[in-house]
Amino acid sequence: MLKVLRPAVTRVMTPLGRALARLGISPDVITVVGTMGVVVSALVFYPRGQLFLGTVVITVFVLADLLDGVLARMTGKGSTWGAFLDSTLDRLGDAAVFSGLILYLVLEDEPEIVLAGVALFCLVAGALVSYAKARAEGLGMTANVGIAERGERLVVVLVAAGLSGLGVPYVLAIGLWLLAAASAVTVVQRMIHVYRQAVVR
């Protein structure tokens, strides 16, 4: 889904990328600012129950994940370091989003401990999805398979949190349970994919 949308979003981002390039701002700066914005927004708004406002602000900063790539292509400053920095800080941003939701669920007047546990599982499973791919590539294989890559996981959790903030009942629970299942399936899919490359020749 996101691969289909990415070209359109990139076209929208291109004018802003040109403006930033003229100002001499590097892609790494955009990456860091975007991640810090996500982290601060998730840990400030979500625990206070401001799910819709938090989601809107987080989404603005998440777009920096596309903007840094646009800027890197325009300036020719794409690098191995930039790719490493982007992937590493993506994990930090994801952790902040789920941590904010966990705090919200635990600090409610009527704490939802089970759902907080599901959100924690989503965080761990998401990290495993990313790790499986990175480890496979480090061993000279691929693991670009699965139904819940990082972009899809982020869309699901942000949409669910945002709609919950607007008062839509049960949507956060549904989103987190679906995300937990999809993430677990993706981990298994990637393990099977790597097993076939490593063992089944």
Q: What is the set of active-site residues?
A: 90
| Structural tokens at position 34 | 């975007």
The radius of gyration of the chain from alpha carbons, rounded to an integer in Å, stands at 18
Name 175's Cβ contacts closer than 8 Å, sequence gap at least 6. 156, 157, 159, 160, 161
Question: How would you class 180 by CB atoms within 10 Å of its CB: exposed for 0-12, middle for 13-18, buried for 19 or more?
Answer: buried
Token pair for 77: 């400053």
| Residue 130 · residue 108 · CB < 8 Å | no
One-letter amino acid of 60: V
